[in-house]
Amino acid sequence: MIGKVIPLHSLYPGSSAPLGDPSDAALLRACAQGDNDALAVLFDRHHRSVQRVLQHTFALAHADLEDILQEAFFEVHRKSDQFRGDASVRSWIVGIALNKARHHLRSTARRARLRSIFGEYVMVAPQRSSATPVAQLVRQENLGHLAAAVARLPEKQRVVFVMVDVEEFSGVDAAKALGLPEGTLYRRLHEARKALRKALTKEAPDG
């Protein structure tokens, strides 16, 4: 389970993360300068969000999710001097994690198991003051249908939907993380929402 992920700061005893409440960009700069505890702070801030994006996009088994999550943050550490600030640090980290997950799936025989594994998860949107499209769908008591419908989306639509409507990345940040023009991202998001509305309307019980 995710709780068993090795705390990254425990791998680097004797280091000291930046004092106070530094920005994500400051933490990356500290990583690039050899302050390894800064990575632990980034991990604590963002690993749950990265975990949810990976889980809902690829429906990874728990053991695979743990491995990819740690590999992604070690890659963040290795590439910390390459961050250019043209998107948020969180979206940059998610982009690295998505690439790690795709490589993992290409190099194994797990692709055929994605849909069946995805059925173990139910997507629950956190309560927020403003209702996102996914929150509205959740209120319709269609969680089971929603999970199945999202699993059937093409990967390109699924990852955009999860990032924007579930994790509430901005369109700019999601596009940067995925390496897409914003117009392409919004087109895929529109297609994903349209497909989900159609699927849920079709599968809704008569009443």
144 and 114 fall within a common domain: no
- What is the CATH classification number for the domain harbouring 32? 1.10.1740.10
78 and 127 fall within a common domain: no
141 and 206 fall within a common domain: yes
Contact 200, 146 (CB under 8 A): yes
At residue 136's C-alpha, the angle toward residues 130 and 57, to 5°, is 95
Task: Output b/e per residue, 41-65; b: 16+ Cβ within 10 A.
Answer: bbbeebbebbbbbbbbbbbbeeebb
71 and 108 fall within a common domain: yes
The number of domains in the chain is 2
CB atoms within 10 A of CB 151: 18
Contact 65, 13 (CB under 8 A): no
Percent of the chain with pLDDT over 70: 69
Give 82-122 pLDDT, tens digit per residue: 998 888 999 999 999 999 998 887 765 434 443 444 444 33
Domain end point (choices 78, 105, 121): 121
CA distances from 52 to 48, 72, 77, 105 (A): 6, 14, 21, 17
Whole domain around residue 201: which residue ranges?
A: 122-207
Domain end point (choices 83, 106, 121): 121
Give 143-166 pLDDT, tens digit per residue: 667 778 888 899 999 999 888 888
